[in-house]
A and B are shown apart, each in its own frame.
Chain A
């Protein structure tokens, strides 16, 4: 689909990936409709969009947990621009902590925003797209929609659910012979956004961005490309691709590795944090921004993490090869794991050289 002159609705456009996506579409000449709760932040984002060839924008403050508000968002977009070509479901929140300590209502709220918010978005957008005979619905899931995280139960559930929803909708459209309407999901790895500082947190430990951290513009570009050439699913960030791939070959190993990495790298081991509801019920008071300030640490950590992944891959590979360890099954898979591990190790070496050089 052509991006120039298309009409794009983005939820969660006041910050992070959503904001970067709105900007990216504006730069490519699309009209963008920006939705989230923080009006001022949306206005600011809209002004940034307009800097590019006077792109057209519309700001619609919306809480995505309110189905009527989401319907109204679609209506406003249609009223203003006559149609909706692209709808990006992106608004999301998280609540981190030991399972028994996260309040039930917080778990419910995460599901409401991350899952029901997407459901409302899809129900508002799809009829319009079917009517038009074309359109792309992009659901931003996460690598966490493939590889779960500990202490992040609701978020994990929601991101798995989004992939389920996306795939189910695709089947439905297929069966019904709807050709021009596409439903895709985008699975980012760790992205440098304010997301981590906004998380509801009961872990007692500061939430960190788990390295390696990629810039949000990368996800924005992936979403734009998704619209140009719709695909079922795309993963953003080599580390994410790596994990998704390895999880198909050695799911148990990757599950364990992610568990350990989350505990060691996603939650601080030296900075405690008060219990708080983050931006679950009220948006944060600041004016929103694209980056979250995690990028500087990226390169330092990239090599180390890749090395770790390489080692894990190696262990998984060796484990699979040795009947005593791996149970003797899946030798075929091992052939894939080893090159992946070696690949990661090579990348790690290059990064190291670049740093020292």
Chain B
């Protein structure tokens, strides 16, 4: 029975989803394994190089093909059950008992935070993608109409969730050509998660509820079913709804026959489809935690990018307490993370939400803050820059607006690294149409010299101590 569920859950799962990769990476990590090839495929740079040598249009099509292959055929939509997906999640972890649990919104920084605590992560939101070869990516109204019956069906079949049809022809364009995204957001804790808390946590183990408060304008398309146009990325929310020259230019280079987007009217701001936390679930967490004697701690922030600086500094101070220098930064992006190898090579992880301008700004802000004195925080603190900065970026299959080219990434890190700045695991010629990108990142992390023994997990109190010393406000994170 469970095995069936797991197989089903795995079939509905979308491999490149941020939540799925958080779970996979931490599942691997807690089993002592790496996140090579997103914990699934081969992590072979040689294969990746082979793919990168293909002509660009072919590579472009590989992306669309990969999307299509991930998407479920429309006759399976009626079988989608959040319980199967949850079951898949809990099957990624061992029997425990775990010293802590992280639950809620996903973020790359949270991956590393959970790893430091030796904690598994249970996502509130999961992605199911469905085939759609008919809808024009640049016609959001048609997309809403076409997918609404399916989104409503999934919502009707799954009373405990909200279903978001998320349509972003900017960042997800390569995928959207052949599929549509349904993000399933838990409104209740659900039986599988409840059992996980009851059976796999050590007595008194804290539960950290991660709440990303980012919302987005959306439109209700049915009971607990919503349409969201655009998502967090290189294009500001406003620009999705009021497209100007930049979008027109992008559409022309993407060879679209449209000059702009005309999204449907929206009716409310709701938790952002991919990253946003829906507060409905909190009640269930509280109830089960109370019943089974686990304190609930809350980590809140406005944007998934925000906790990156906090987690980087948290790691840095942890390394230093262990007598290491903590002067080696590894900048990761999207789902190309590896909690195991970050620790093995003694790198401080700084996660970028994607490969776009806002992510670059977040990185610059962080690095600038370490310059000390009048630069940085301006509080006259001692400068504390990194000696080495390595950076890896994800390839999403097309040049979306706001994309930062590799040269510019290199310049950015060269400006702040004292000894060494390197863009690693990226085929700069092929980027961002590099289908082997996910095979390349992890071997590149492994290639960083120096090895450190794996530390024992930190207690959750370590966050209290760290934030008491440095102040959560400075990082934009709330901790209570």
Chain A residues packing against B (C-beta within 8 Å): 97-98, 101, 202-206, 263-264, 267-275
30 interchain pairs (CB within 8 A)? A97-B149, A204-B77, A204-B149, A204-B153, A205-B75, A206-B134, A263-B75, A267-B74, A268-B74, A268-B134, A269-B73, A269-B131, A270-B73, A270-B132, A270-B133, A270-B134, A270-B178, A271-B131, A271-B132, A271-B133, A272-B74, A272-B131, A272-B134, A272-B149, A272-B150, A272-B180, A273-B134, A273-B146, A274-B142, A274-B149
Q: How far is the CA of A273 from the CA of B132 in the complex (A)?
A: 9
Q: How far is the CA of A63 from the CA of B142 in the complex (A)?
A: 31
Q: Is the CB of B231 closer than 8 A to any CB of chain A?
A: no
B contact residues around A268 at 8 Å (CB): 74, 134
Shortest CB distance A99–B (Å): 12
- Smallest CB-CB separation from A206: which chain B residue? B134
Q: Is the CB of B147 closer than 8 A to any CB of chain A?
A: yes
Is chain B's interface secondary structure helix, strand, loop, or mixed overall? helix
- Smallest CB-CB separation from A100: which chain B residue? B156
Q: How far is the CA of A273 from the CA of B131 in the complex (A)?
A: 12
Q: How far is the CA of A98 from the CA of B131 in the complex (A)?
A: 19
Interface string of B169-193 (1 = CB under 8 A from A): 0000000001010000000000000
Interface string of B144-157 (1 = CB under 8 A from A): 01111110010000
- Smallest CB-CB separation from A271: which chain B residue? B134
Which 7 residue pairs spanning A and B have beta carbons closest together? A204-B149, A274-B145, A271-B134, A269-B73, A270-B131, A204-B150, A272-B146
B contact residues, range: 20 to 34
A contact residues around B74 at 8 Å (CB): 204-205, 267-272
Shortest CB distance B137–A (Å): 14
Shortest CB distance A262–B (Å): 10
Residue of B132, B145, B146, B153 ringed by the most chain A CB atoms within 10 A: B146
- Asked whether A272 lies within 8 Å of B75 as measured between CB atoms, the reply is no
Shortest CB distance B321–A (Å): 54
Q: How far is the CA of A101 from the CA of B180 in the complex (A)?
A: 22
Shortest CB distance A263–B (Å): 5
Q: Is the CB of B130 closer than 8 A to any CB of chain A?
A: yes
Interface string of B73-102 (1 = CB under 8 A from A): 111011000000000000000000000000
Q: How far is the CA of A146 from the CA of B148 in the complex (A)?
A: 33
Shortest CB distance B153–A (Å): 6
Instruction: Please pick, from B75, B78, B149, the residue contacting A269 in the complex, using a CB distance under 8 A.
Output: B75
A contact residues around B132 at 8 Å (CB): 270-272
- Asked whether A275 lies within 8 Å of B75 as measured between CB atoms, the reply is no
- Smallest CB-CB separation from A260: which chain B residue? B75
- Smallest CB-CB separation from A202: which chain B residue? B149
Q: Is the CB of B135 closer than 8 A to any CB of chain A?
A: yes
Q: How far is the CA of A273 from the CA of B148 in the complex (A)?
A: 9
Q: How far is the CA of A206 from the CA of B75 in the complex (A)?
A: 11
Shortest CB distance B179–A (Å): 9
Given contacts A204-B153, A272-B146, 15 further A-B contacts (CB under 8 A): A98-B153, A101-B153, A203-B149, A269-B73, A269-B131, A270-B131, A270-B132, A270-B133, A270-B134, A271-B131, A272-B130, A272-B131, A273-B146, A274-B145, A275-B149
- Smallest CB-CB separation from B72: which chain A residue? A269
Q: How far is the CA of A206 from the CA of B180 in the complex (A)?
A: 15
Shortest CB distance B138–A (Å): 16
- Smallest CB-CB separation from B73: which chain A residue? A269
Q: How far is the CA of A204 from the CA of B150 in the complex (A)?
A: 6
A contact residues around B180 at 8 Å (CB): 272
Q: How far is the CA of A272 from the CA of B147 in the complex (A)?
A: 6
- Asked whether A275 lies within 8 Å of B148 as measured between CB atoms, the reply is yes
Q: How far is the CA of A101 from the CA of B75 in the complex (A)?
A: 16
A contact residues around B78 at 8 Å (CB): 98
A contact residues around B153 at 8 Å (CB): 98, 101, 204
B contact residues around A264 at 8 Å (CB): 75
CB contact under 8 A between A274 and B73, given known A204-B153, A206-B134, A269-B131: no
Q: How far is the CA of A263 from the CA of B148 in the complex (A)?
A: 19
B contact residues around A204 at 8 Å (CB): 74, 77, 147-150, 153
- Smallest CB-CB separation from B180: which chain A residue? A272
A contact residues around B147 at 8 Å (CB): 204, 272
Shortest CB distance A87–B (Å): 38
- Smallest CB-CB separation from B132: which chain A residue? A272
Shortest CB distance A247–B (Å): 23
Interface string of B268-304 (1 = CB under 8 A from A): 0000000000000000000000000000000000000
Q: How far is the CA of A251 from the CA of B331 in the complex (A)?
A: 64
Q: How far is the CA of A230 from the CA of B178 in the complex (A)?
A: 51
B contact residues around A203 at 8 Å (CB): 149
The residues in B between 294 and 322 inclusive whose CB is less than 8 angstroms from any CB of A are none
- Smallest CB-CB separation from B145: which chain A residue? A274
The residues in B between 346 and 380 inclusive whose CB is less than 8 angstroms from any CB of A are none
- Smallest CB-CB separation from A276: which chain B residue? B145
The residues in B between 115 and 136 inclusive whose CB is less than 8 angstroms from any CB of A are 130-135
Shortest CB distance A271–B (Å): 4
Shortest CB distance A22–B (Å): 33
- Smallest CB-CB separation from A275: which chain B residue? B149
Shortest CB distance B135–A (Å): 7
B contact residues around A272 at 8 Å (CB): 74, 130-132, 134-135, 146-147, 149-150, 180
A contact residues around B75 at 8 Å (CB): 205, 263-264, 267, 269
Shortest CB distance A3–B (Å): 43
- Asked whether B146 lies within 8 Å of A274 as measured between CB atoms, the reply is yes
B contact residues around A205 at 8 Å (CB): 74-75
A contact residues around B130 at 8 Å (CB): 272
Shortest CB distance A225–B (Å): 38
- Smallest CB-CB separation from B76: which chain A residue? A269
Q: How far is the CA of A97 from the CA of B150 in the complex (A)?
A: 11
Q: How far is the CA of A169 from the CA of B84 in the complex (A)?
A: 54
Q: How far is the CA of A271 from the CA of B130 in the complex (A)?
A: 10
Q: How far is the CA of A148 from the CA of B132 in the complex (A)?
A: 28
Q: How far is the CA of A202 from the CA of B153 in the complex (A)?
A: 10
Q: How far is the CA of A45 from the CA of B153 in the complex (A)?
A: 41
Q: How far is the CA of A162 from the CA of B132 in the complex (A)?
A: 37
The residues in B between 19 and 56 inclusive whose CB is less than 8 angstroms from any CB of A are none
- Smallest CB-CB separation from B178: which chain A residue? A270
Q: How far is the CA of A274 from the CA of B145 in the complex (A)?
A: 5
